[in-house]
A and B are shown apart, each in its own frame.
Chain A
Amino acid sequence: AQKVTQAQTEISVVEKEDVTLDCVYETRDTTYYLFWYKQPPSGELVFLIRRNSFDEQNEISGRYSWNFQKSTSSFNFTITASQVVDSAVYFCALSGNTGKLIFGQGTTLQVKP
């Protein structure tokens, strides 16, 4: 069975702090994709990143970075120098052979000024 676990339900930081959102996944598929989505209060899910199972290179995009480690089945997301606009619910998701997205429970990030 496929499963995504985001152990952190809520995180609160002060602006300019760095914050890491954890994501651990389970799958028996050899080929799979991992995703991060952001859901601001408006409700729309914003696509942030996709990573396939054969590419373990870390990625950086501005203040965002992702660390993919197959050895620990983790795909963590770090926001550097957080801003109030980063406040949202962040979902980690997994897609395997079925093509369906399996979402984690989400982590609510609150960035205080």
Chain B
Amino acid sequence: GAVVSQHPSRVICKSGTSVKIECRSLDFQATTMFWYRQFPKQSLMLMATSNEGSKATYEQGVEKDKFLINHASLTLSTLTVASAHPEDSSFYICSARDPLLAPDTQYFGPGTRLTVL
């Protein structure tokens, strides 16, 4: 149980392109999902908390207009990197909590590696 998927796993795009990343909970309903960013050889940094049916809560320093988050259903959250630039290149990972299995544990997706040329 508690399987989280992400799509795509890898994206290479030109500067100025918008990129959408999907995060799905496959075998449970997740009222809360999280989006993280990880630079090479560094730890994970929380970008935002995504709640189903309401606006996402962004961490300090994260641009809301740059990183658009939508949590339209209990199994899907999307992160759109608007007008991506090379400095947005990173590893993006989502996580979700299964409120029935383990409400305090986050299960992570496999991540999306974004490269902006």
Chain A positions within 8 Å of B, measured between CB atoms, are: 33, 35, 37, 42-47, 50, 52, 91, 95, 99-101, 103-106
Contacts and interface: CB of A to CB of B under 8 A. Distances in A.
B15 interface: no
Contacts of B113: 43
Interface string B78-117: 0000000000000101010000001011111111010000
A47 B107 CA distance: 7
Contacts, number: 49
A100 B49 contact: yes
Residue with the highest number of chain B CB atoms closer than 10 Å, among A43, A46, A91, A99: A43
B93 A101 contact: no
A44 B109 contact: yes
B102 A42 contact: no
B93 A45 contact: yes
28 contacts: A33-B104, A35-B105, A42-B110, A43-B91, A43-B93, A43-B110, A43-B111, A44-B109, A44-B111, A45-B44, A45-B93, A45-B95, A46-B108, A47-B108, A50-B102, A91-B44, A95-B104, A99-B32, A99-B104, A100-B46, A100-B49, A101-B34, A101-B46, A101-B95, A103-B44, A105-B42, A105-B43, A106-B43
A47 B105 contact: yes
- Top 8 A-B residue pairs of the complex, sorted by shortest distance between their CB atoms: A45-B108, A44-B110, A43-B111, A103-B43, A105-B43, A103-B44, A33-B104, A50-B105
A100 B49 CA distance: 9
Contacts of B32: 99
Contacts of A35: 105
A66 B59 CA distance: 31
A99 B109 CA distance: 18
A37 B44 CA distance: 11
Nearest to A91: B43
A94 B63 CA distance: 25
A86 to B, nearest CB: 19
